[in-house]
Amino acid sequence: MTRRDAYVCGIDAAIDVVGGKWKVLILWALEGGPCRFGELRRGIPGVTEKVLASHLRELEGDSIIFREEAFEGAVRRVTYALTPLGVSLNEALGPLGAWGREHLLGERSAHHEAL
Amino acid sequence: MTRRDAYVCGIDAAIDVVGGKWKVLILWALEGGPCRFGELRRGIPGVTEKVLASHLRELEGDSIIFREEAFEGAVRRVTYALTPLGVSLNEALGPLGAWGREHLLGERSAHHEAL
DNA sequence: GTGGGTGGTTACCTTAAGGTGAGTGGATGA
DNA sequence: TCATCCACTCACCTTAAGGTAACCACCCAC
């Protein structure tokens, strides 16, 4: 998804933010609350650490998520969570998710609650 | 956007359908009614004929749009229009478009009506 | 007869997104 | 002591999406 200089309309721009291969899955995972790096890696089967890290940094750059690094004693604990903007993005993705579930996935995941 | 074999959730799948570089712009253009190939090409500045043709064929394959070819005398007239599924997709994209307009485009196109 | 419009196709090339696999440095566990 | 977890980074490679430019057949107007 090449960062476009000038957007023609809103979805155009939104798709750009959310168009990375694993980004909606990251947003989906963070819906349930903050996650650590390792939790995300395990929670999104197939994503590699490199790609996960770069996606996270892009989402952070777009102010969709924020990163919090803390040390308990000397142990690193990095947590990712949705910003208010990220929460609103997830809400805006709701109808699209419902559409996809209804028309693309068939019935088999129709009982999948969020997004 | 690599066609994924198994989708995890609805948006995942929907983003795949709509993730091509010019696809939402095509949908946006067709919102206003059926268009001919040349109209789309002129209406979407920057898209090339090759990419437009392949995007149209993919959208047609996903049953988002349909193609109608007619001959008036000996003159070709090819028209593209949204299917009911395409209309529902456009509706589902509405909130995402609004989100993008509000949060990514600033005020300068806030008065842009559709999508 | 030539320039433009119709709706494309074809071969080729570029680029960036994503994947592979190894390494890092400290801490903790067996 | 060796291994493993944590959160990454780095160098390299592959692949597919998209771009470039030429070409096609057919028609019409000038």
CATH code of residue A36: 1.10.10.10
Domain count, chain A: 1
By Cβ distance, the residue of A7, A24, A94 closest to B105 is A7
pLDDT per residue as tens, chain A (115 positions): 556 656 889 999 999 999 999 999 999 999 999 999 999 999 999 999 999 999 999 999 999 999 999 987 778 899 999 999 999 999 999 999 999 999 998 755 444 444 3
Query: For residue B82, what are the domain limits?
Result: 10-103
A21 is a domain residue: yes
C-alpha to C-alpha distance for A68 and A36, rounded to whole angstroms: 9
C-alpha to C-alpha distance for A109 and A99, rounded to whole angstroms: 12
A34 is a domain residue: yes
Cβ contact A7:B110 at 8 Å: no
Q: How far is CA B31 from the centre of its chain?
A: 8
Name residue, tokens 């952070």: A60
* pLDDT for A82: 98
A111 is a domain residue: no
B82 is a domain residue: yes
A88 is a domain residue: yes
- Strand nucleotide closest to residue B76 (CA to C1'): C6
Hey, are the CB atoms on B25 and A19 less than 8 Å from each other? no
**Which residues does chain A have within 8 Å of residue B100's beta carbon, measured at their own beta carbons?**
7, 9-15, 17
B2 is a domain residue: no
**Min CA distance, B2 vs chain A (Å)?**
8
A109 is a domain residue: no
Hey, are the CB atoms on B103 and A88 less than 8 Å from each other? yes
For residue B70, give the H/E element and its range. strand B65-72
C-alpha to C-alpha distance for B114 and B70, rounded to whole angstroms: 30
